[in-house]
Amino acid sequence: MESSLAIETNTFRNLPEEKRQRILEEAVKEFAANGYQKASLNTIVKRLGIAKGSLYQYFNNKQALFLFIFDRLTHLVKDTVKRSVSEGEEADFFEQVRRIIVSGINFIDSFPAYYQIYLKVLFEPDVPQREELIAKVRLFSMEFFAPLCNAAQGKGQIRHDIPTSLVVFILDAVVDRFLQGYAKPYLDGGLNLSAKSPQGLEEDVNMIITILQDGLCLQKGE
């Protein structure tokens, strides 16, 4: 049941499922490879073997096609994160952080092209409604981390001499970079994340969590 404010055309909605998927798949590939501006509708229609006019009967313009795809992206993220996190509702603070990272890895594995699009949007200046789009996806990490931190401070699980905003900032920085490094090897700082086995990844994640917990200094118990 689509709303009447749908960004896509009735014509597109009435298309046979198979064709609709083919079109989206190809468009996602193109946007993932080239970002918004450099993505070429000519290339998309050429690869699909359909006329350009047809594409313009499915979506009013390039922007509409892109926004439709990004909307799917946010839904996919939402679902993936929820699935990974909702299980451990009452878990320890750092366990929940760990789950967020794992769900991020899962998302990248499941929908690498969509994650590419997210990265592109993040750093491409003139994608339409960029800030809103980023905010939509970030809502999960931000709106998720902030209450998590507050709760943890309440429960005495983390220190309260540091503002929540700074804690969230550090968590977000490390998590984001870890995922970026997993998707883009040249950003992993030599960790070689993309080539690691699930076990190897888990070890790295656990050590990162350990550092976040106890810091880089020598521990008293050692």
Partner DNA sequence: ATTTAATGTGACCACCTGGTCACATTATGG
Partner DNA sequence: CCATAATGTGACCAGGTGGTCACATTAAAT
- Candidates 62, 121, 167, 212: give the one binding DNA (CB under 7 A): 62
Instruction: Please tell me the distance from the alpha carbon of residue 22 to that of residue 37, in angstroms, as a whole number.
Output: 22
The enclosing H or E element of 96 equals: helix 93-110
Q: Please tell me the distance from the alpha carbon of residue 220 to that of residue 93, in angstroms, as a whole number.
A: 22
In angstroms, the CA 149 to CA 171 distance is: 10
Minimum distance, C-beta of residue 135 to DNA, in the bound complex (Å): 24
If one asks whether residue 47 binds DNA (CB under 7 A), the answer comes out as no
The distance of Cα 143 from the centroid of its chain, to the nearest Å, equals: 14
Q: Is 194 in the site for a second copy (CB under 8 A)?
A: no
SS3 state at 84: helix
Binding partner of 62, given DNA, a second copy, none, CB within 5-8 angstroms per partner class: DNA
What are the residues facing 8 on neighbouring strands?
A: 59
Residue type, 203: E
> Contact with a second copy (CB under 8 A): which of 19, 38, 47, 75?
38
Residue 137: CB minimum distance to DNA, A: 23
Are 193 and 205 a contacting pair, CB within 8 Å? no
| Residue placing its CB nearer to a second copy in the complex, 85 or 121 | 121
Q: Does 213 bind DNA (CB under 7 A)?
A: no
Which one among 54, 74, 129, 157 touches DNA, defined by CB under 7 A?
54
Q: Which part of the chain contacts a second copy (CB under 8 A), choosing from 52-60, 61-69, 106-114, 123-131? A: 123-131
Nearer to a second copy, 53 or 159 (CB): 159
